[in-house]
Amino acid sequence: MRLWILIALLCGAFVLTACQPTRVLNTVVPSGSYNRLADVPYATDSRQQMDIYIPSQKPLRENIIVFVYGGAWDQGDKNEFEFVGQAFARLGYVTVIPNYRLYPDVEFPQFIDDIAKAIAALPEHLNEPCPSPDNLILMGHSAGAHSVAMLVADPRYFDEFVPFSPTVHALIGMSGPYDLPLEHERVKDKFTTVEGDEANPVALAHENMPRTLLLHGGSDTIAAPEHTEKFAARLAELNVPVETRMYERARHVALVASLASPLRFWTPAYNDIQEFFELHQLNEICTPESDITN
């Protein structure tokens, strides 16, 4: 009974506010399906740390998921998104959730630089031979969706910060502002150095983008659904495989919150992502090279 009371309180918080009470979700998701490597450094700033969720049961999946949370580039913390690490570790994916530096300490492009630096540090902290950081799925929500879209739309981030050549097998964006409105009050102060379209995934998209799944809430008033529609249309023009899922009643934070097991009745986003993995063979089991050659 206590669980359902908490769920009711969470529902009220999400419906009535635009805040992110996501930390509370961590208290009601199942435990035991993963080991969490917490506060793993990838650079020297106190914000440049990541959590790595290692599934408890093997075999593991071949791809590593890197999830980037949102917060308008001026708020958010990886500790609030343990429920995301749990959700995908339960499916067998090593899941990485990095913190990154925030405004006003930094502005664009340093938010995105930090995600690239976190990816660059993965080989140092993953002791198992399998999975390899060479195989990635990038996933993000809100400002985080913008960041992961930028990582695949503009190759300079990987070229400058990642000393190896990972393959991004899929991009999954949730509620992202892909056609970034630089004049918006929550954007303009954080993107003052932008020249031209260098912060716009819709404009930067190219034919070598990875297979993409875009999810959005039809009742989102923070990042309008038109962002996903424009990005999907541009990818389709480029012949990049792209799929969209629009959830008519879902609001901005509710979409990512519905990844948590107690709130999956809100949207089928978790099942849709899982089906996307299965359909496109992104759920392959990881086999160490030594096992293949023996």
Domains of the chain, by residue range, sit at 35-283
Q: Which residues of the chain have pLDDT under 70?
A: 1-31, 289-294
**Strand ranges, E, within the chain:** 34-41, 49-55, 64-68, 95-98, 135-141, 167-174, 211-217, 242-247
Confidence (pLDDT) at 290: 45
User: Which CATH number does the domain 35-283 belong to among 3.40.50.1820, 3.30.750.80, 3.40.50.280, 3.30.479.30?
Assistant: 3.40.50.1820
Tens of pLDDT, residue by residue over 191-200, are 999 999 999 9
For 236, the token pair is: 């389709």
DSSP letter (8 states) at residue 285: B
- pLDDT of 127: 78
**pLDDT of 294:** 42
